[in-house]
Structure 1
Amino acid sequence: MTMKTWMAAPKRYFKKEIVPLLADLRLAIALLLAIALFSIAGTVIEQGQSLAFYQANYPEHPALFGFLTWKVLLAAGLDHVYRTWWYLSLLILFGTSLTTCTFSRQLPALRWFSRTWNFYSQPRQFQKFALSAEFQPSANGSAGVAAIADLMPLLKQRRYKIFQDGEKLYAHKGIVGRIGPIVVHVGMLVILLGGMIGAMTGFIAQEIVPSGETFHIKNVTDGGPFANLSVLQDWSVKVDRFWIDYLPSGEIDQFYSTLSVLDKDGQTIDRQTIHVNKPLQYNGVTLYQADWSIAAVRLKLNNSPLLQLPMAKLDSLGGRIWGTFLPLKPDLSDGVSLIARDMQGLLLVYDMQGKLISTVRKGMSVEIHGVKVAIADIIGSTGLQIKADPGIPVVYLGFGLLMVGVVMSYVSHSQIWALQHEGALYVGGKTNRAQVVFEREFLSLLDQLDRQDVEARSSDDQLASV
């Protein structure tokens, strides 16, 4: 075996075995279903949470569905599905399948349709068409038979692009319908590329920041191996104000944060008020309003200066509550607990035995064990989810191409062939969709040709009789 033959063998194997396998529609469907299945798993299973979270929600006894424990979940990477090697491998394989199908099937078919030599030169070739007709010359050999010259203006009226080679004719319209599937494939590839860029270079962070505080984004909970965290170094964010609007029923209507983006010198670059579904975007980073908490309570004891006591979230079966301990004596031998359920300004006061002794609202005061306690304010904390995904513009571009391609694919690609052979005219045609519409158009075309043929024969007969 020569070196040339030895090198050609893998090439032949790749062309005859690998390429058809990758271009197989069944493989593409199987990959798409697998991607959809794991995407659903990534949506159902909370992503990027702590080890304690998964241990609490996916215990070993009893295991979810009999097998899904926190150990299995972490070992399989189901806590960060979209960045696992096997999920990215599925995307790459699916993209390779689409690319192979595009280059091995779609583009060659488009090149075939764009050529001007796809004429039919034999009458028997028209027998394969479901729609075809032939116009035979008159018995006396007159020249009144329908001809290609009669057919061309009729096709032009119907906006066909015409190619002619002597007595052979090919016409088509709606070539955009053939380009549509290619655009769909390209759109899907662009979407996959955008998803991979986001998975490899994006990151997610979470921050809980009290109103009035300034912070740098540091609590990155999940990020790709090539995430560019340097975009967070030269600016910070100040929470100017956080507040909640409540419905008359006491339920939360909406919560808001007024955020200022500051440069390295503390100067304001941008300032926006955000709420759920209205984020702030800066330097490729998006800050979403995602959660809230109570950070502290400000109060006065008798005539003391304004004091600020931090409040912590407490475990509760009846919903979220926050609490703090207010000492009433320097040795901490006496004091009360202040409990808040929301930011509407109501505080519940419990003694050291856990008994409710009073309630007080923001802006009001209450006397407890001889000490006047005046509540000045309840300080809220805004919960921000911060994301950077450089792949989003690419994904949007892919979806745009996908929608354009789908619309293009609905355009019918209609083709008509004609042959003038031994005095007879043969006409045939086909389309890839809207078959009924094309049949009507084709029959209308034949009717016009037939009327012209009858008129020509009648004229020839009159001349012959004279």
Structure 2
Amino acid sequence: MEKVKCECGHVNPYGTYLCESCGKPLIEEKSKLANMRYEGVARRSQTYTRTFVDKIWNFFSSVKVGIWIIVVLLLTSSLGTLFPQEMYIPPGENATIYYEQEYGTLGKLYYQLGFHNLYSSWWYMLIIAALGISLVICSLDRVVPLHRALKTQRVTRHEAFLKRQRLFSQTDNAENIDEDMIKAESLLKEKRYKIRKENGNILAEKGRFSRWGPYVNHIGLIIFLIGGMLRFFPEMYLDEHVWVREGEQEVIGGTNGEYFLRNNEFMIELYDEEDEKYQPALERAGGPVVKTYQTSATLLRREAGGTIGSETELAEVKDHDIRVNDPLTFEGFSLYQVDYKLNELSSFTFTLESEEENTDLTDIQFEVDLNDPEDVYEFDNGYRIEILEYFPNFVIDDNREPTTINRIPDNPRIIFEVFPPEADPEEEQGELSLVGIQVNEPLNGENDYTIRMTDVDMVNVTGLTIRKDRTLPIISVGGFIFMIGLVQGSYWHHRRIWIQNRNGRLVLAGHANKNWHGLKKDFKYLSDQTTIPMPVDQSEESSEEENEGVNESHDPTQR
């Protein structure tokens, strides 16, 4: 497409409406006022429409498309708030079962459609990427030609350009033009206008930087979106839960097995029920209310060359009492106190009893760790007990088969197989028993041996959130830049005043991107201090002419 050369000598891109230099209209229009949107320059999306790249560019440069992308993003984001995301369901719960049990058929559909991990799904990332592409292309499509037009504009503008401004007036045979223009220059400087002069003509301009406000907004939003997308990279963002039983230690997620946390003691403090100050609140609560809870923890670090999980090779780094809003922090990680569980089942102690009176089983006593049970228990007198199946949280599924909801021992059931000394475990089947809390059932007829539970150990468990966020500075910078652009575009306005002496004829014009009332006040100030007249608002005249035309078309006398 060929460029258009204006009579002033400036070469304009194809499709430009007003010459970037002198402002002469290059395309005839019926409108009385010039279209000053983007200074009348040609945008790429309005001139190049043939190739595949042009079509992609034009699609994303549309403001309507950008708005629809935002609407789709908001709607899909709201879907993720209908039910908790998988990271926020109770620890240890199986998401496949949890959503259907808690929320019924709708919850099952929610899980099957993948909404339980919506914000990390590929299609949600695609929508965010589309919004970012739209912001980039929209900005480039407008800011580049706008900057070029504002940079190349001359002081002396074509008379047709001035006549098409919203605020315009001209005075024939004006007196004291030179004196008024000198005084106007001084008055406009007082109003903090930047003055440019050419051939005795004046261009007064201020607030041009406000034109870049929307594009600064876009830059801030793009940086904000980049920060949000970086949260899906493990090295940039981590938000995990860990449960640590009292007296035990667990590896800290995200540290590649380098750091461990030991729960030395978990403490909980309740409000004093006898304190009159708290009694009304406690009565409303209907029971004890937690005042504070904390984990006395020790941070451990695996020494160089050590084996993961080897306790003897862990060095203590520091001790810290983790409370709500008082996390343990190290190397960008923060461990927050978020939950706890009191009296979780830890181990069962069993003894083996025989129905035969002459059988001595006094030495057969064993302890089963419910979090890490052994497979086989052998005794000196030749007896052997194997754990055939272990269900930490026992349930019967839809197929009437035994299974476990999760690995937390809330309702443990164990299937034991007992072999006496004379039995061969490889050739014979032992006696099977299903044992749990208030459960002791033989599984293959009547048994000669009974496994009896004699003791139960319980332990307190602390729930911590492991959090690392390296994207926060990026998101903060994006938000700060966005606010700068918002203030820049909202509280300042781009105003221009042209005063030209055309052979004794005073031509006056003005333009503002918004806040025309403020520009009119500046003209009023000039008019009061000089003989320069107030310009006419041609938009009001156009409206009156249109109204008169409508009235005439409905006047019966004109028929």
Q: TM-score range by the shorter chain?
A: 0.5 to 0.7
Uncovered stretches (5+) of structure 1, i.e. residues with no partner: 1-9, 219-228, 299-306, 316-321, 326-350, 354-372, 454-466
Distance in 1 separating the partners of 2:271 and 2:519? 60
Q: Deviations over 1:12-35 (max 9, x none)?
A: 424643222101111111111111
Distance in 1 separating the partners of 2:115 and 2:343? 33
Secondary structure of 2:170 counterpart:
strand
The aligned amino acid for 1:436 is H
Shift of 1:91: 0.9
Distance in 2 separating the partners of 1:235 and 1:112? 59
Judging changes above 3 Å, is the alpha-carbon distance between structure 1 residues 144 and 129 closer, same or farther for their aligned structure 2 residues?
Answer: closer
Shift of 1:207: 1.1
Q: Deviations over 1:183-231 (max 9, x none)?
A: 110111111111111113344322111244332125xxxxxxxxxx4x3
Q: Does 1:128 align with 2:164?
A: yes
Distance in 1 separating the partners of 2:63 and 2:184? 40
Structure 1 counterpart of 2:141: 104
Judging changes above 3 Å, is the alpha-carbon distance between structure 1 residues 269 and 16 closer, same or farther for their aligned structure 2 residues?
Answer: same
Asked if 2 retains the 8 angstrom alpha-carbon contact of 1:73 and 1:79, the reply is yes
In structure 1, which of residues 230, 239, 242 is the aligned counterpart of residue 266 of structure 2? 242
Distance in 1 separating the partners of 2:298 and 2:523? 67
Secondary structure of 1:199 counterpart:
coil
Q: Does 1:421 align with 2:421?
A: no
Secondary structure of 2:232 counterpart:
helix
Q: Does 1:404 align with 2:505?
A: no
Q: Note the 1:449-460 alignment, pairs <5 A.
A: 449-450=530-531
Secondary structure of 2:136 counterpart:
helix
Distance in 2 separating the partners of 1:415 and 1:160? 9
Secondary structure of 2:530 counterpart:
helix
Secondary structure of 1:399 counterpart:
helix
Judging changes above 3 Å, is the alpha-carbon distance between structure 1 residues 452 and 409 closer, same or farther for their aligned structure 2 residues?
Answer: closer
Structure 2 counterpart of 1:63: 105
Uncovered stretches (5+) of structure 2, i.e. residues with no partner: 1-47, 273-281, 283-287, 304-313, 347-366, 372-391, 396-408, 413-436, 440-454, 535-559
Asked if 2 retains the 8 angstrom alpha-carbon contact of 1:137 and 1:145, the reply is no
Shift of 1:292: 0.7
Asked if 2 retains the 8 angstrom alpha-carbon contact of 1:107 and 1:182, the reply is no
Distance in 2 separating the partners of 1:272 and 1:412? 55
Judging changes above 3 Å, is the alpha-carbon distance between structure 1 residues 208 and 158 closer, same or farther for their aligned structure 2 residues?
Answer: same
Secondary structure of 2:514 counterpart:
coil
The aligned amino acid for 1:251 is V
Structure 2 counterpart of 1:165: 198
Secondary structure of 1:256 counterpart:
strand
In structure 2, which of residues 333, 337, 353 is the aligned counterpart of residue 289 of structure 1? 337
Judging changes above 3 Å, is the alpha-carbon distance between structure 1 residues 17 and 170 closer, same or farther for their aligned structure 2 residues?
Answer: farther
The aligned amino acid for 2:528 is D
Judging changes above 3 Å, is the alpha-carbon distance between structure 1 residues 216 and 110 closer, same or farther for their aligned structure 2 residues?
Answer: same
Judging changes above 3 Å, is the alpha-carbon distance between structure 1 residues 11 and 285 closer, same or farther for their aligned structure 2 residues?
Answer: farther
Asked if 2 retains the 8 angstrom alpha-carbon contact of 1:241 and 1:259, the reply is yes
Q: Which range is displaced more, 417-426 or 200-209? A: 200-209
Structure 2 counterpart of 1:209: 244
Shift of 1:95: 0.5
Shift of 1:62: 5.8
The aligned amino acid for 1:401 is I
Shift of 1:160: 1.4
Structure 2 counterpart of 1:457: none
Q: Which range is displaced more, 163-172 or 91-100? A: 163-172
Judging changes above 3 Å, is the alpha-carbon distance between structure 1 residues 352 and 38 closer, same or farther for their aligned structure 2 residues?
Answer: closer
Distance in 2 separating the partners of 1:75 and 1:146? 80
Judging changes above 3 Å, is the alpha-carbon distance between structure 1 residues 184 and 144 closer, same or farther for their aligned structure 2 residues?
Answer: closer
Distance in 2 separating the partners of 1:119 and 1:451? 18
Structure 2 counterpart of 1:394: 474
Judging changes above 3 Å, is the alpha-carbon distance between structure 1 residues 205 and 21 closer, same or farther for their aligned structure 2 residues?
Answer: same
Distance in 1 separating the partners of 2:512 and 2:217? 20
Q: Identity of counterpart residues, as a percentage?
A: 23
Q: Note the 1:299-310 alignment, pairs <5 A.
A: none
Shift of 1:151: 2.3
Structure 1 counterpart of 2:525: 444
Paired residue total? 365
In structure 2, which of residues 103, 119, 123 is the aligned counterpart of residue 82 of structure 1? 119
Q: Note the 1:35-54 alignment, pairs <5 A.
A: 35-48=73-86, 52-54=94-96
Q: Which range is displaced more, 286-295 or 26-35? A: 286-295
Judging changes above 3 Å, is the alpha-carbon distance between structure 1 residues 110 and 255 closer, same or farther for their aligned structure 2 residues?
Answer: farther
The aligned amino acid for 1:137 is N
Q: Deviations over 1:130-181 (max 9, x none)?
A: 323334434xxx6455553332222211111222222333232122311211
Distance in 1 separating the partners of 2:264 and 2:461? 11
Asked if 2 retains the 8 angstrom alpha-carbon contact of 1:110 and 1:178, the reply is no
In structure 1, which of residues 176, 193, 209 is the aligned counterpart of residue 209 of structure 2? 176
TM-score (norm 1): 0.67
Structure 2 counterpart of 1:385: 465
Distance in 2 separating the partners of 1:93 and 1:40? 18
Tell me the C-alpha RMSD between the 2 structures: 4.0
Asked if 1 retains the 8 angstrom alpha-carbon contact of 2:495 and 2:511, the reply is yes
Shift of 1:236: 1.9
